[in-house]
Amino acid sequence: MATKPADTPDVQGAAAPVYRTSPTAVEALDAHLKDHPEDLPVHTQEWDVSRSDIYVEDRWQPIFAEMRSKDPINKVTGSPYGDYWNVTSHKAIQHVEALPEIFSSSWKNGGITILDRHDDTVEDQRFELPMFIAMDRPEHTGQRRTVAPAFTPAEMTRLADDLRARTGEVLDSLPYGETFDWVEKVSIELTTQMLAILFDFPWKDRHLLSFWSDWAGDTEVALIPGLDEMRHTILMEMAAYFTQLWQERANAGEAPDLISRMIHSEAMNAMSPQEYMGNLVLLIVGGNDTTRNTMSGIVHAMDAFPDQRALFESDPSVIPNAVQECIRYQTPLAHMRRTATEDTDLFGHQVKAGEKLVLWYLSANRDETVFDNPDTLDFTRENARRHLAFGYGIHRCVGARLAELQLRILLEEMHARRMRVKVVGKVERVRANFVHGFRKLEVQLEKF
Ligand code: HEM
């Protein structure tokens, strides 16, 4: 859960601070469902894996395993998210992603999550933002090209010292022999700091980034009209804040932070305010929930597989592959969605133009035809890098190198401090079919 920011923004003239009195997205959803349990979507079909209870209760594994063995591409009709195709095997997902002309990401066709961008039930109340993850070629190409230089190996080297120093500070601030929430104290804090460094965002307001991201990226909140309005207000406020930053950076010279890069690039400096905002939300949400939940996943997985924790402790040379394996094992985004632009055959299934396909990365990364013993964490796994957690093809995660760097630094700095993290208390997971992660992870530290 994001911490609510207490301070007034640094940026003068930003809109009235709604966020100071607003609950986080998770708090708002919890409160709403307590009073209106009837608003929880009803799912009746066995293979309707859009149901969030299987993720919050961590019992999705056998359902996807059954689909992979019986019918890896299958159609669900009449779910609360409408009709959709489940695409569950590694091979089929790569195939779909390699054909972006036939399988569109465009928001005009429905976007990149199972939630339809133009859902009749809540139409006009939704705050829609165009972003390049939800664009097809050629628009996608130019906008991605603008952002990509922020993630080159040279840029990673430039950012590494700062990230390492900040990571060390956070780890050094943690208590030993006391129970605390790893999600709040480490995963959220470090990810927020990473994004603030990337955007050169006003440091004392950095917690706004995770607060906004939670509201922007929650597919469950968007299904409930009352909460969707609150989301709109909060995102408008984010828009005001970033518009102010945009103006400040436009008046300053070129700089390597992402906002300046966007302003001073040809492909992006003519963006409409909605496009500018959409791409910022993309970078914040894209980098936030994903990295955060992998940081929690690492600790949870090492606790569940003590032999792998022992290996990490005795041989830090496994760290780079351990990062890949932890990303595979956690898969912090459960799915991406595509929409067919024409009638087509998909491994013997007749997919019609306009139909939606949900690519379940969570399932591909447990595909037993690619990964031996896929439900086991194995830091020596030779093909861990073949995971699809970053997607595949033209939309493959542009921030992957930054995420890998931050995760590697976290493991290296934990190792340097001989820090062992044990899960001792509550483990709460996110109630969502899109973000796959942890809300709470109560741990204690000891030295190894
Ligand atoms: C473990 C961490 C991360 C995971 C698992 C992850 C996952 C993904 C996935 C699945 C996609 C879509 C790929 C596809 O459609 O084929 C994506 C795209 C993207 N990600 Fe990440 N991501 C992570 C970290 C980051 C970070 C740190 C950033 C930036 C700060 C970022 C920014 C983006 C952007 C901008 C896109 C859109 C790329 C495009 O459409 O061309 N991600 N990511």
Mean pLDDT to the nearest integer, 412-427: 98
Measuring CA to CA, which residue among 323, 318, 301, 320 is closest to residue 375?
Answer: 301
pLDDT of residue 163: 96
129-133, 225-229, 307-311, 314-318: range with lowest mean pLDDT: 225-229
Measuring CA to CA, which residue among 424, 325, 308 is closest to residue 365?
Answer: 325
State the Cα–Cα distance between residues 4 and 6, nearest whole angstrom: 6
**Whether the CB of 399 sits within 6 Å of ligand 1:** yes
**Which residue, by CA, sits nearest to atom 18 of ligand 1?**
397
Does the pLDDT at position 359 exceed 50?
yes
**Whether the CB of 334 sits within 6 Å of ligand 1:** no
Does the pLDDT at position 265 exceed 50?
yes
Pick the CATH number of 18-447 from 1.10.630.10, 3.40.50.720, 3.90.1150.10, 3.40.50.670: 1.10.630.10
**Whether the CB of 277 sits within 6 Å of ligand 1:** no
**Whether the CB of 291 sits within 6 Å of ligand 1:** yes
Ligand 1 atom closest to 388 (CA): 10
Ligand 1 centroid–CA 33 distance in Å is 30
**Whether the CB of 134 sits within 6 Å of ligand 1:** no
Does the pLDDT at position 6 exceed 50?
no
71-75, 79-83, 309-313: range with lowest mean pLDDT: 79-83
Mean pLDDT to the nearest integer, 68-77: 97
**Which residue, by CA, sits nearest to atom 36 of ligand 1?**
397
State the Cα–Cα distance between residues 94 and 116, nearest whole angstrom: 22
pLDDT of residue 191: 96
- The alpha carbon dihedral of 181, 187, 190, 196 has a sign of negative
pLDDT of residue 442: 98
Ligand 1 centroid–CA 186 distance in Å is 21
**Whether the CB of 398 sits within 6 Å of ligand 1:** yes
Mean pLDDT of the chain: 89
pLDDT of residue 1: 37
pLDDT of residue 3: 40
Per-residue pLDDT reduced to its tens digit, 380-398: 999 999 999 999 999 999 9
Does the pLDDT at position 125 exceed 80?
no
CB of 105 closer than 8 Å to CB of 335: no
What DSSP state is assigned to residue 265? S
**Whether the CB of 100 sits within 6 Å of ligand 1:** no
Ligand 1 atom closest to 258 (CA): 30
pLDDT of residue 117: 66
CB of 46 closer than 8 Å to CB of 75: no
Ligand 1 centroid–CA 389 distance in Å is 9
Tell me if the pTM is above 0.85: yes
Per-residue pLDDT reduced to its tens digit, 230-259: 888 888 888 889 889 988 988 888 888 888
| Domain limits, the chain | 18-447
pLDDT of residue 118: 53
**Which residue, by CA, sits nearest to atom 40 of ligand 1?**
133
State the Cα–Cα distance between residues 326 and 320, nearest whole angstrom: 10
**Whether the CB of 187 sits within 6 Å of ligand 1:** no
**Whether the CB of 197 sits within 6 Å of ligand 1:** no
CB of 322 closer than 8 Å to CB of 250: no
